[in-house]
Amino acid sequence: MKIPNVNTSYFIAISLFFAANLNLQAEDGYKLWLRYAPLENPQLDVPYASQVVVPGGSPTMEAIRSELKKGLGGMLGHDVALSDHVTGNGAIVVGTPASSPLIASLGLQAKLQGLGHDGYLIYSAANGGHAMTVIASSSEVGALYGTFHFLRLMQTRQQIAHLDISEKPAFQRRFMDHWDNPDGSIERGYAGNSLWRWNDLPGKLDPRYIDYARAEASLGLNGVVLNNVNAKPEQLTPEYLRKAAALANVFRPYGIRVYLAANFAAPIAIGNLKTADPLDPTVQKWWQAKADEIYRLIPDFGGFLVKANSEKQPGPQDYGRTHADGANMLAEAVAPRGGIVMWRAFVYASMKSNEDRATAAYKQFTPLDGKFRGNVFVQVKNGPIDFQPREMFHPLIGAMRKTPLLAELQITQEYLGHETDLVYLAPLWKEFLDSDTYRNGPGSTVAKILASSPMTAIAGVANTGSDTNWCGQDFAQANWYAYGRLAWNSNLTAEQIAEEWARMTWGNDPQVISTVCAMMRGSRDACVNYEMPLGLTDMEDNTHYGANPPRHANYHQADAQGIGYDRGRTGSDAVSEYAPAVGERYANLATCPDDLLLWFHHVSWDYKMKSGRTVWDELCFRYNAGVDYVKQMQTQWQTLRGKIDPERFSAVQARLDQQLAHATNWRDVCIRYFQSINHKPLPAYLAQSKG
């Protein structure tokens, strides 16, 4: 990201500002990237932000006014006048042609239509001789997104004069999936308990729900699945539906629709039926009545997310029916009200023990392509095994030509160091989104395939919880932020997003930004290195935090001669699930990239890598490099002492200490284990560093 408007006086002003502000205020991370900290040089922006003209009495327009008041007040250090008309230079005019007579008079209808429901324009203009900034959309929610964009420009010190911005999202539905349980716990949650205070709902509303909605809307996220995919049937009882409806009411002004994960056996568990067979008319009626009941409480209910016949969850296969039969029955029930079904393809239950789990979803779902109702998404994780630190992209993407697919990413760091490790996930997601499926020839990236269906969506499994800083560690907020930004615009680079986030979260001091971004940049590769380098997977213990390589020996297949999983033609033939150009590249040892070598091949310990090292030496090298990166981050963070508020500085420092112990443990456990199998000598640097 370039910073326009920079000149010498800017740098002098900024240096003086930081010199004068070493007494930094205590911060607890609650405000996320919406801190609206005082600007170093507000005088640059004051001429363009002297008046707010946001007519309209709806809750969304009220949210826009309130955000501008908070944001401008915080950044400029004084209240900015709200008025009905532009009365001087520097007005910020926000709305839709319906909410704002001024915007209606600007002749923007055609342009706005082209940007769809959620898109918006931000541009500098003049009205009656007065300079103003227009933030316009065809929907009020789009105007809210535009408002957050404008505030972000200020927060990140980009210019707000001469604007000419038009935006629309990459995906129509942009989800946060919460794996929250009715008892307040969160599956794979590492930041406290559920944000949803089920016991207090629907009567008592935690003010935090609004801050959650603001954070989501600031990124353009517009769908929330409230509960765990391992769904408890009671989530669909009238009692819990009323609680969900109360949350939906809070979220609605922020453009967020509520969805629920449904337990497929709910008709039995809470409906007193004897079966949940999707072809049984009483079951179908039960779901239709349930959908009607939900829509009475939540008129804009989004639909159901279902994990069926996976990890002991009930599903249509219990009755000899297919995933399509199950999904279509639910889709039928919500279709009259515009609802959708997200049917997960995370299935491997029917695999024989010697079968390759990476091939399971493709085998089960490709025969069903074309059999799903039009309002069904098949939801696939980015990788075919799970949410591992590095996986090949999922082969269903590119293979299901007639079914809209919804990619599920994991923001919570289940396999990447929970809340302790500083691991910036945007590079992982970019690697996935930019992968070329070759489905329609070269350039058929995952992002393009996902965005080309008649319905489009993306989901991220939330990393939020009741901890004050929401995510358990300050840097984990970057993953929530980055997921949301990519859901809006998958063309952004990981670097651009990191810089935006760093500026909004830690401030605009050039040294802080460059250090924070440098730490984040290689942190995902570091985690891959200290946990599962070269395409290794599933080496974790049963907490999914520590290392236990013998536990899943069938995944790494290490023996005295070599290591790796043969997914080539002589092995599981997973390569055939990809377009030929992709399959051949990975099947061929000469062209298979080092990063996924052991994902696709079983090779001798002495096999020469592209780096020139043997596999054994490369493994040792990578494990150690991962640990070294953490040490480097510790050193980098130290250079920011006094430049970051002491609370957050110490909190991150403590996390980095934990991360070093975690990374070192992974390295040592894995290297020791593999060495016990191949009896190879350790490289000198490792022999010395192990204590």
Pick the closer one to ligand BDP by CB: 181 or 375: 181
State the nearest-atom distance from the C-beta of 187 to ligand BDP, in Å. 5
State the nearest-atom distance from the C-beta of 346 to ligand BDP, in Å. 5
CA distance 184 to 286: 28
State the nearest-atom distance from the C-beta of 344 to ligand BDP, in Å. 7
State the nearest-atom distance from the C-beta of 220 to ligand BDP, in Å. 24
Q: Considering only CA atoms, which of 426, 406, 405 is closest in space to residue 416?
A: 426
Pick the closer one to ligand BDP by CB: 386 or 467: 386
With contact defined as beta carbons under 8 Å apart, do 621 and 670 qualify? no
Residue 218: strand, helix, or coil = helix
Pick the closer one to ligand BDP by CB: 252 or 381: 381
CA distance 680 to 662: 24
CA distance 108 to 645: 44
Residue 474: strand, helix, or coil = helix
With contact defined as beta carbons under 8 Å apart, do 395 and 449 qualify? no
Residue 283, both tokens? 């079951």
Residue 391: strand, helix, or coil = coil
With contact defined as beta carbons under 8 Å apart, do 140 and 58 qualify? yes
What are the C-alpha distances in Å from 68 to residues 6, 49, 74, 82, 153? 25, 10, 10, 10, 13
Q: Which residue is nearest to ligand BDP (CB)?
A: 386
* E strand map for 482-566: 562-563
State the nearest-atom distance from the C-beta of 219 to ligand BDP, in Å. 22
| Catalytic site residue from 180, 277, 325, 414 | 414
Active site residue 386: yes
Pick the closer one to ligand BDP by CB: 293 or 311: 311
Residue 403, both tokens? 């079914």
| Catalytic site residue from 45, 216, 386, 500 | 386
DSSP assignment of 549-587: GGGGHHHH---SSEE----STTTT-GGGGS-HHHHHHHH
Three-state DSSP string of 640-688: CCCCCCHHHHHHHHHHHHHHHHHHHHHHHHHHHHHHHHHCCCCCHHHHH
Residue 510, both tokens? 């050039």
CA distance 50 to 211: 25
Pick the closer one to ligand BDP by CB: 231 or 294: 231
Residue 496, both tokens? 């651009």
Pick the closer one to ligand BDP by CB: 346 or 578: 346
State the nearest-atom distance from the C-beta of 393 to ligand BDP, in Å. 17
State the nearest-atom distance from the C-beta of 380 to ligand BDP, in Å. 11
Q: Describe the crossing of helices 140-155 and 59-76 by its angle, rounded to 10 degrees.
A: 10
Pick the closer one to ligand BDP by CB: 388 or 529: 388
Residue 610, both tokens? 């592209």
Residues 6+ apart with CB under 8 A from 608: 614
State the nearest-atom distance from the C-beta of 580 to ligand BDP, in Å. 30
CA distance 496 to 502: 10
User: Up-side HSE of residue 532: CA atoms within 13 Å toward CB?
Assistant: 29
Q: Considering only CA atoms, which of 515, 514, 509 is closest in space to residue 13?
A: 509
Residue 415, both tokens? 């396999």
Pick the closer one to ligand BDP by CB: 222 or 412: 412
CA distance 211 to 33: 11
State the nearest-atom distance from the C-beta of 58 to ligand BDP, in Å. 37
Residues in the chain: 691
Residues in contact with ligand BDP by the rule CB under 6 A:
187-188, 229-230, 307, 311, 346, 386-387, 414
Q: Considering only CA atoms, which of 273, 262, 402, 403 is closest in space to residue 333?
A: 262
| Catalytic site residue from 28, 62, 84, 311 | 311
Phi-psi region for residue 557, left (φ > 0), alpha (ψ -120 to 50) or beta?
left
Pick the closer one to ligand BDP by CB: 34 or 305: 305
Please give the torsion angle defined by the CA atoms of residues 228, 234, 239 and 243, in that order, rounded to the nearest 10 degrees.
0
State the nearest-atom distance from the C-beta of 410 to ligand BDP, in Å. 8
Pick the closer one to ligand BDP by CB: 462 or 603: 462
CA distance 536 to 550: 13
State the nearest-atom distance from the C-beta of 423 to ligand BDP, in Å. 16
Pick the closer one to ligand BDP by CB: 386 or 474: 386
Active site residue 414: yes
Alpha helices, H only, 591-614? 597-600
Active site residues: 311, 386, 414
